[in-house]
């Protein structure tokens, strides 16, 4: 699918299909179109669609009418409109289409163009069955032209780059865990490094042992799949300090000795979506050639209940020198992240943001709409909230108070890997905060937003839009 900027008005477009936006209870200036709307009893609520053929005053073969509601839509309603467009294009087997200019409350043309390209491109993503004999042909849409008074495709290309990053994230998340192993993630990072001329380093278990990463290794030792610590760096801003993103990469989480219930355990292949998201962000940033320095760090393991797996009650020493009592082996994400966060100090980071499908508690708190946000720096938290709002990939900030940190006390180590007394999402972040005192840090818990269940089961690509927008705000 290709995207273009066009000066050609919808009325003069002679391709397969054109879009006409219609307000509710406001007569359209084209009387023939208005008559057809009345004849079809079209109710122009937000996202409603109607496909018409050979409408007088339009050169196109087909005209897709889309409702906008009572007035100029806000950004949330426009996202609904874009999803309606995508569904209508697919159902009608549209080959090429032109989309007119539209005014969105409190948003400029650049936002409209980049968002339109990103959402429609992301909607074209197809889940590929493993070793499928026939490719899933979801639709036949070949080209989308977006009307603009200027001829600059910069914002469209930005939207496409973010969608491409989301596609990588979604593909990695959707792959079964017998394919997407720590080794596979390392090979993916090496492939990105080759394609975009990035610096890539992959630490093996022997390297991590030499660095004292006993917490991370305590998770991987129960699996026949060796753990990896991947770092990938993009440098395009001189000697500026890098933004460092850390992505949790548990390619399958059985829970270890603290075994999870069998129901929905298959979804634990998605427990590496934090890792997938930072690799997706790297692809988007490199594709846009942004003037920033970015490093992504991916601790990746498989959590399995083998004879030599960690046991509840074990104590491990982290790379930082702090000790951890493992009360529950299913609280493994923080055990690999804490060593990765210590490792990040070598990059002299401007900020560090970790992204993890860390707790089920965040789903109880926030459902599937907002990602959870906690930070040791309020300016950083505010910047992420702003980026989430701009990208329509939102977060909700939760507290990080000392009272919660006290719930991590252990009689046998410096801390336990599980808090007592509820607030599971917050105590998990408090655990990580103990390893981030030397730099500005934020934590995103994406357990509720990284994938969907049910008939639309699959990775979402979040929070690639949020993180990419945050990085663009740093320029």
Question: Exposed, middle or buried: residue 44 (CB in 10 Å: 0-12, 13-18, 19+)?
Answer: buried
- Tokens encoding 252: 């399958």
Helix, strand, or coil (residue 67): strand
Q: 121, 283, 334, 434: which one is catalytic? A: 334
Q: 260, 311, 350, 440: which one is catalytic? A: 260
**Do 343 and 433 form a contact (C-beta atoms < 8 A)?**
no
Residue 248 known to be catalytic: no
Q: How far apart are CA 380 and CA 413, in angstroms?
A: 31
The tally of CA atoms less than 13 A away on the side-chain side of residue 405 is 13
Residue 334 known to be catalytic: yes
Task: Give the start-end residues of each E strand in 138-185.
Answer: 143-147
The tally of CA atoms less than 13 A away on the side-chain side of residue 230 is 32
Q: How far apart are CA 296 and CA 281, in angstroms?
A: 9
Identify any residues that bridge with 233 across adjacent strands, giving them in sequence order. Answer: 199, 295
Beta strand 395-397 pairing with 323-325: unpaired
**Closest CA relative to residue 143, chosen from 187, 99, 97:** 97
Please calculate the CA angle 357-249-135 and round it to the nearest 5 degrees.
95
Give me the active site residues, please: 260, 334
């Amino acid at each position: 699918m290709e995207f273009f900027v066009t000066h050609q008005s919808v009325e003069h477009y002679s391709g397969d299909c054109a879009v006409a936006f219609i307000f509710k209870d406001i007569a359209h200036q084209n009387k023939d179109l208005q008559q057809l709307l009345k004849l079809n009893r079209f109710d122009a609520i937000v996202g409603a669609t109607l496909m018409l053929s050979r409408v007088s005053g339009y050169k196109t073969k087909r005209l897709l009418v889309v409702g906008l509601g009572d007035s100029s839509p806000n950004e949330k309603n426009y996202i609904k409109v874009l999803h309606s467009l995508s569904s209508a294009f697919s159902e009608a087997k549209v080959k090429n289409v032109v989309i007119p200019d539209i005014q969105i409350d409190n948003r400029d043309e650049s936002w409209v163009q980049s968002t339109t390209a990103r959402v429609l491109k992301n909607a074209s993503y197809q889940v590929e069955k493993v070793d499928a004999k026939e490719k899933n042909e979801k639709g036949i849409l070949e080209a989308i032209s977006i009307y603009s008074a200027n001829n600059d495709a910069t914002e469209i290309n930005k939207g496409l780059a973010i969608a491409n990053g989301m596609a990588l994230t979604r593909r990695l998340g959707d792959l079964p865990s017998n394919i997407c192993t720590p080794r596979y993630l390392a090979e993916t990072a090496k492939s990105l490094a080759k394609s975009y001329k990035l610096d890539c380093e992959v630490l093996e278990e022997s390297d991590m042992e030499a660095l004292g990463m006993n917490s991370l290794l305590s998770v991987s030792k129960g699996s026949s799949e060796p753990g990896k610590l991947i770092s990938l760096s993009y440098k395009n801003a001189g000697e500026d300090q890098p933004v460092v993103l850390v992505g949790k990469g548990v390619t399958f989480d059985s829970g270890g000795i603290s075994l999870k219930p069998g129901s929905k355990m298959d979804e634990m292949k998605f427990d590496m979506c934090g890792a997938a998201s930072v690799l997706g962000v790297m692809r988007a940033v490199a594709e846009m050639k942004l003037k920033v320095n970015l490093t992504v760090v991916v601790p990746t393991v498989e959590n399995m209940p083998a004879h030599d797996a960690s046991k509840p009650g074990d104590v491990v020493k982290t790379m930082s020198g702090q000790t951890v009592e493992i009360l529950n082996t299913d609280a493994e994400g923080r055990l690999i992240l804490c060593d990765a966060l210590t490792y990040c100090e070598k990059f002299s980071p401007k900020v560090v943001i970790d992204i993890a499908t860390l707790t089920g508690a965040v789903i109880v708190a926030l459902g599937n709409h907002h990602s959870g946000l906690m930070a040791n720096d309020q300016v950083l938290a505010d910047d992420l909230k702003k980026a989430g709002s701009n990208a329509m990939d939102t977060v909700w900030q939760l507290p990080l108070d000392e009272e919660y940190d006290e719930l991590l006390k252990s009689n046998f180590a410096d801390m336990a890997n599980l808090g007592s007394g509820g607030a599971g999402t917050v105590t998990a972040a408090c655990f990580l905060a103990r390893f981030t005192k030397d730099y500005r840090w934020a934590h995103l818990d994406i357990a509720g937003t990284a994938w969907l269940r049910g008939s639309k089961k699959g990775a979402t690509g979040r929070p690639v839009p949020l993180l990419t927008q945050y990085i663009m705000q740093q320029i």
